[in-house]
Structure 1
């Protein structure tokens, strides 16, 4: 199987797998236990916390390890909103956020918060002017992803962050798709919290992290818990944390999008037919590794099945939204019809993708289009 679904998940790197096995064997103690085995696990955990903080440009006190991007978004958004409720109860996000963000917003709405969801521009991003128009006197929190999980567009976090800093509004950013591809360190000038995940960067599944500025007050979703300074419950998975950190160090050290841009352009050169529609932004606002596309007159699920028969794995959007009947959120948020949203499919690349694989994919897509639409 030729794999083109790296935005959904990645295989573990050899380095991360080696660290996971070694940590499972040598640091198996509960990091909360007071004996020597627990102390050794706790020492490794704190080393990883410091390393991850350095990679994103923050302080170790702001890192909270979680079970992944979904829990990171849920806990950070709800905890920050609850803590700021005395100042207001209005929260803003985009219509195209990950399903975990929408879940957190639905939870807050049940608690009496007012939620505004903004559409995307024709470029697939939130423009600062549109956000500014949605801000109210009672706005306390904005949550916007750095890079969209379905079409790979990049929000202008710096410009939006400046606006929100001036108004004293908290800013959370889902950085799950951006981490390891874009440098997160400049973001900490503007965001108050951000979320990252391991299995998007060749680390193990079931582990992620939140960074919350240490000077901020947050209200725990589940009072009385003791792990991760009360941010969440459950014994910390130290081997997974260690493997996640190893994967993060490796991907941040070697990250370069040059190859992904070359592969994206190669595929575009092959698919010149007007039947292919690329859902993308200008290159300055686009991750090259995530390709959103439609074939006119053909449902994305059919494209997926046809390619799967030929040994190629793609997706029809975020893996967390595969049961949605309305298609991808990003396309709908851009104002396209449900019919076009159902035609959407996603190709996602990585540094492991080869020219030969792109050539194969391009030829298969041309063949599918010719056979189905003739």
Structure 2
């Protein structure tokens, strides 16, 4: 089967897998233990922390390891709320945020916080003027993802961070889809916190991290936690962290090469859909605001679920949105944020490229989708 769902997860890099096995068998000590075996594990852990911090240009003392992006988002938000820059109970977030963000916001709303959700414009971006109009004197936190996981648009986090700084508002950004795919050094130190995940960058599943600006005097959400300076409970998964670090080093080293390749793959795929272009709607920003490896689109008159199953039958793996919400059969959150109709939302599908995606496979997928649409039209006429 030809895989086009890299935005959902990636295969484990072979070198990262080797590192995982080596660390799990040779550096198996608990990093919190005081004996030499624990000390070896602790030293490796801190080397990984420093390396990952250097890759994105942040202070390593603010980097904490988690079980992944979802836990990272939750813990980062709670950390910022434990140490607001001013009094207030108003939170602004994007309507298209990951389901882990929305789950946290629902709980906070029940706890008495006021939540404002911002839609996306026709280019899949947050309107900065609308953002500023949504702010109040009580606004203490803003939550906006860097790259949307379903259409790949890139939010201007640098500009948003300045607005937040000028108004004493914390900013948390979900970097899960941009970590390793975009140079984050210009913006990583500008936010109050960000999250990332190992399995999106060819590292293991069940590992990720959070950066919280060290100047923020956050309080632990779980009282009595001793690991990661109290940021989260549970023995630190050093083998997975080491493997993720290797994967991060490799993917960060090929950002420019991969982005150039993905732009070509994207153009080729879209060109291949030319025979049905009048039925295809691609949701995207301009080139400077678009991660080329993620394509969100809809085909008029054909439900995304049906297209996904037909593509699967022909040997192609693609999706209808974030894997974290598919089990609920709810529309992709980005379709709500874009203001699509119910029918348009049902038509949404996502195609995403990765390191192993080949040009011939992209062409074959495009041609197969054209065939699926034409066969569907023929059946409909009959």
TM-score surpassing 0.5? yes
- The residue aligned with 2:314 is 310
The correspondence of residues 329-368 of structure 1 with structure 2, limited to 5 A, is 329-368=333-372
Distance 2:199 2:290 in 1: 21
* Structure 1 position 96 matched with structure 2 position 100: no
The correspondence of residues 40-189 of structure 1 with structure 2, limited to 5 A, is 40-84=40-84, 87-189=87-189
Deviations 1:91-127 (A, max 9, x none): 1101100001111111211221111111111111112
Deviations 1:62-101 (A, max 9, x none): 0000000000000001221132286111111011000011
Distance 2:82 2:116 in 1: 17
* Structure 1 position 322 matched with structure 2 position 326: yes
- The residue aligned with 1:227 is 227
Provide the secondary structure at the position in 2 that maps to 1:320: coil
* Structure 1 position 261 matched with structure 2 position 263: yes
- The residue aligned with 1:237 is 237
Distance 2:252 2:175 in 1: 14
Distance 2:130 2:370 in 1: 39
Contact 1:266/1:358 (<8 A) preserved? yes
RMSD of aligned Cα (Å): 1.1
Contact 1:260/1:351 (<8 A) preserved? no
- Shift in Å at residue 222 of structure 1? 1.1
Distance 2:159 2:84 in 1: 23
Deviations 1:40-66 (A, max 9, x none): 000000000000110111011000000
- The residue aligned with 1:13 is 13
Contact 2:149/2:177 (<8 A) preserved? yes
Contact 1:141/1:170 (<8 A) preserved? yes
Structure 1: where are the runs of 5+ without partners? none
Bigger shift: residues 258-267 or 159-168: 159-168
* Structure 1 position 2 matched with structure 2 position 6: no
Structure 2: where are the runs of 5+ without partners? none
Distance 1:207 1:9 in 2: 13
Distance 1:309 1:293 in 2: 20
- The residue aligned with 1:27 is 27
Contact 1:12/1:199 (<8 A) preserved? yes
Contact 1:171/1:191 (<8 A) preserved? yes
Distance 2:82 2:49 in 1: 25
Contact 1:92/1:118 (<8 A) preserved? yes
- Shift in Å at residue 326 of structure 1? 3.7
- Shift in Å at residue 327 of structure 1? 1.2
- Shift in Å at residue 189 of structure 1? 4.3
Distance 2:189 2:64 in 1: 19
- The residue aligned with 1:289 is 293
Contact 1:158/1:187 (<8 A) preserved? yes
Q: TM-score, normalised by structure 2?
A: 0.96
Distance 1:315 1:188 in 2: 29
Q: Work out the number of aligned pairs and report it.
A: 374
- The residue aligned with 1:271 is 273
Deviating above 6 A after TM superposition, structure 1's stretches of 4 or more consecutive aligned residues are: none
Distance 1:266 1:63 in 2: 39
Distance 1:72 1:189 in 2: 17
Provide the secondary structure at the position in 1 that maps to 2:269: helix
Bigger shift: residues 319-328 or 355-364: 319-328
Change (3 A) 1:189 1:37: closer
